[in-house]
Structure 1
Amino acid sequence: MPEPHVHREHTVFWARRGVHAEVEVEGVRHALVPERGLFVPGGTAHAASRAATTPLAATFVHPWAWQEAPAEVTPVLVNEALRALLTHLHDRGMPKGQRIRAQRVCLEMISVEPAPNLALAIPRDPRIAPVARAILSDPADDRSLEDWAYLTSVSGRTLVRAFRAETGMTFTEWRTAARMSAAIRLLGEGVPVGGVARRVGYATTSAFSAAFHRMFGRPPHQFLPAADAVA
C-alpha cells in the first residue's frame, strides 16, 4: 500500500471489472468485491493502489452535494447499474453542473444496507506486527501462538494481550479473518474454491466453505467471477 493521504471530498471506492480490490483506512484493510464498495468521509486518511492495472476506482463527491452522507467509513452496496453510472462518472469529463446532477443520481442508488464485514485491522504493535506480516504473506501458515512466542522472544501472554488490544480479536480470530480476506482476493481472481481452501490453510474444501459461510453468510463460490461461479 502507498502512504496514506487525504481528500477534502467524500470518496466512494469500488472495484471495476467485478474483481477484488483493497483500501486501507486508519489501519484497517477493507476488501472490495463485486457489489461491495466503501464510503470514506472527506478528511479521512486512507491508502489505495494507484497502479494503472488496479481494478480499484474512486468517485469523489462534494460534501455539500450529499447532506445525508454517513459520518464514518461505511461499506456500501454497488450493484451493476450503479457501477455502470460510476464508471461513466469516472471515465468521462463533463460540465460541473451535469456532473453534480449525475452524482446525485448515483448517491440515491447507493445503499448502506448491511453487507458482509470484509475489514481487517492491521497490527502496528512491533511485538505482533512481524507475526501479522508473516500470516498476510502466507495465510496457510499454521504456527501456533506458542510457536510465535518462541520465534519472536515475546511471551505468549504478551502476544495475547497485544492482539486483543490492537485488533479487538484473539490471535486465532485474527488469523481466521486474515485467511478469509485472502480468500476473498483469491476468489475474485478466479481461483477455484478448492485451490483457495488449500492456499489459506484449510485441509478440506468443506471445512473452508463452512468457515467462510459462517463469516460472510454466503458460500465462497458466490464470490467467484460470474463466468467461473457454479451452483
Structure 2
Amino acid sequence: MEANQYPESANTAVPAATSPVLSVDRDTAESHERLELHSHPEPMLTWSSTATLIGTVGGRDWLIPPGYGLWVPGGIEHAGAVLHAGEMVSIAFAPDRFPLGWSEPTSFAVDPLLGEIIRHLHRIAPDDRTRPAAEALMFGLLTPLAAQHIHVTMPTDPRPRQVAEQLLADPGDPRDLAAWADHAHASMRTLSRLFQAETGLSFTAWRTQVRVRAAIPMLARGASVGAAGRAVGYRKPSAFIAAFGRITGQTPGTYLPPHRR
C-alpha cells in the first residue's frame, strides 16, 4: 500500500490543520480479501478504480464496482470484501472538518476528472501549493448517486451468499439455478428458498437487478445497448431492453451519453 499522509503537525505552506484530508492511501486489492467488522472515528472514502468491492455498513451491503465509491461516516461499524482484484484508493478525513455534511453511508460515481483529482492528491506532498485547490475541487465534484441507483440486497446464509458474490463480480455468468445449486452444495429448492427469504426476490429477479445495475455505468460510458446487454449476460438486445425496463421503468438508451442517444 502506498500512502500520502497529511500529519496534523506538518509545517506546510497551508497548515495541515486546515485540511479535512488526513491521508490518501492507494492499494491493490486482491481477490477474496476481507476486512473484518470494525469502526474508527475518521470518516472514510473508498474509491474503486478497477476493483469490484462490497462494503457492509449498518447491516446493508453496498456494491462498489470500478468507477464508483462509498463514503462511510466515522464511528459506524463496517466490513468489506474484494470480489474482483484491482486498484482502489481510501481517503481518511478529520472527523470535524468533512465539509459535505453527509450523515449516512453514501455511494457516488467517479468520473475521469474526479479520478484524476484523487490521484493528484495521492501524488503530491502535504505542503504542495496545489493542494487546497485540488481538495476544494474534489469536494465540489463528489455527488451522491441519483435516485435511480439500484440497491441489491445481499443474502447472509453462506450458500446463497457465495453465489451472490460471484454474480456481483461477474454479472454475465450464464449458469442457471441448477448449476449454482451444485456449486453451493445445496438443492435447487433450498437455494431458491434462501434467495427469496433473505433478499425478498427470486433468484432470477435478484440476478436481473444485478445485471441491470452493472449495465448502467457501461451505458453511461458510451457502450452500445447491445454491447452492454451482452456483457451482463443477455444474448439478445430485446431481452436486455425488456429486463431493463422492468427494473428501472426506462429504456437503456436513457442512460447513454447525450451524443449517443
State the TM-score, normalizing by the size of structure 1: 0.65
Query: Could you tell me which residue of structure 2 aligns to residue 10 of structure 1?
Result: 43
Distance 2:130 2:222 in 1: 37
Amino acid in structure 1 at the alignment position of 2:121: L
Query: Could you tell me which residue of structure 2 aligns to residue 71 of structure 1?
Result: 103
User: Contact between 1:13 and 1:38, CA under 8 Å: does it hold in 2?
Assistant: yes
Q: CA RMSD in A?
A: 4.5
Q: 2:52 aligns with which of 22, 31, 39?
A: 22
Cα offset, 1:171, TM superposition = 2.1
Q: Looking at secondary structure, tell me which structure has more strand per residue.
A: 2
Distance 1:218 1:191 in 2: 14
Larger Rg: 2
Distance 2:234 2:241 in 1: 9
Q: 1:124 aligns with which of 131, 156, 159?
A: 156
1:175 and 2:207 matched: yes
Aligned residues: 220
Query: Could you tell me which residue of structure 2 aligns to residue 60 of structure 1?
Result: 92
Distance 1:214 1:223 in 2: 18
State the percentage of identical aligned residues. Answer: 28
User: Contact between 2:220 and 2:255, CA under 8 Å: does it hold in 1?
Assistant: no
Q: Deviations over 1:90-119 (max 9, x none)?
A: 222213998578545533442236254254
Distance 1:163 1:109 in 2: 37
Q: 2:252 aligns with which of 219, 227, 231?
A: 219
Q: Deviations over 1:12-32 (max 9, x none)?
A: 23354xxx5433111624134
Query: Could you tell me which residue of structure 1 aligns to residue 21 of structure 2?
Result: none
The 3-state SS of whatever aligns with 1:65 is coil
Distance 1:115 1:90 in 2: 30
Considering Cα pairs closer than 8 Å and 6+ residues apart, tell me whether 1 or 2 has the greater RCO: 1
Distance 2:138 2:177 in 1: 47
User: Contact between 1:140 and 1:179, CA under 8 Å: does it hold in 2?
Assistant: no
What aligned pairs does 1:1-231 form with structure 2 within 5 A after superposition? 1-4=32-35, 6=38, 8-16=41-49, 21-26=51-56, 28-32=61-65, 34=67, 36-43=68-75, 44-47=77-80, 54-66=86-98, 68-95=100-127, 103=135, 106-112=138-144, 114-129=146-161, 131-132=163-164, 135=167, 139-141=172-174, 143-144=176-177, 148=181, 152=185, 154=187, 156=189, 158-183=190-215, 193-212=225-244, 215=247, 219=252, 230-231=260-261
Distance 2:163 2:111 in 1: 37
Amino acid in structure 2 at the alignment position of 1:208: F
Structure 2, unaligned runs of 5 or more: 1-31
User: Contact between 2:177 and 2:188, CA under 8 Å: does it hold in 1?
Assistant: no
Distance 1:126 1:167 in 2: 13
Structure 1, unaligned runs of 5 or more: none
User: Contact between 2:48 and 2:64, CA under 8 Å: does it hold in 1?
Assistant: no
Q: Deviations over 1:102-137 (max 9, x none)?
A: 545533442236254254444331343354356555
User: Contact between 1:209 and 1:220, CA under 8 Å: does it hold in 2?
Assistant: no
